[in-house]
């Protein structure tokens, strides 16, 4: 299965091969600040499943964050020491996922003015098995 996604202005377009994995709400201060929002919803995907269809030259990187240079849409995160794993910004997908986030992470720095509205598990920082989860992701085909 392949889906497509894009930035707000449409200059960056991508294809995502395979299923969208379980999605995650990150409540960390960095995500909140760069998005100007209460939390950010991401999906960990193998980098090789992501194909840039257009606008690659217009993708700007700042730290681990990749965004459209033209419109500023944040597209994904990638750690320099984990290049095989990408955290895709779910809202850039053309087809919205239909399943809710499975977990809330970094709730130790969540917005004091926000209340989580569901009973999904919460982790004050990263879940203890997140390194192993990324290992599995990088090996996944």
Closer residue to Zn ion in complex, CB, 35/140: 35
Closer residue to Zn ion in complex, CB, 16/74: 74
Closer residue to Zn ion in complex, CB, 20/68: 68
HSE (CB half, 13 Å, CA atoms) of 72? 3
Contacting positions for Zn ion (CB under 5 A):
7, 9, 11, 26, 28, 31, 68, 70-71
CB of residue 139 to Zn ion, shortest distance in Å:
24
Q: Report DSSP letters for 75-121, one per residue.
A: EEE--TT-TTEEEEEGGGBSS--SS--SEEE-GGG--TT----S---
CB of residue 6 to Zn ion, shortest distance in Å:
8
CB of residue 101 to Zn ion, shortest distance in Å:
13
HSE (CB half, 13 Å, CA atoms) of 81? 1
């Amino acid at each position: 299965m392949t889906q497509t996604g894009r930035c707000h202005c449409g200059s960056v377009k991508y294809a995502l091969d395979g299923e969208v994995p379980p999605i995650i709400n990150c409540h960390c201060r960095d995500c909140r600040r760069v998005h100007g929002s209460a939390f950010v919803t991401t999906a960990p995907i193998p980098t090789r499943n992501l194909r840039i269809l257009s606008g690659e030259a217009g993708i700007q990187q700042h730290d681990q964050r990749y965004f459209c240079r033209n419109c500023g849409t944040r597209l994904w995160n990638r750690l320099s020491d984990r290049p095989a794993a990408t955290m895709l910004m779910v809202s850039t997908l053309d087809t919205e996922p239909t399943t809710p986030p499975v977990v809330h992470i970094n709730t130790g720095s969540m917005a004091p003015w926000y209340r989580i509205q569901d009973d999904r598990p919460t982790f004050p920082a990263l879940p203890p098995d997140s390194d192993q989860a990324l290992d599995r992701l990088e090996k996944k085909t």
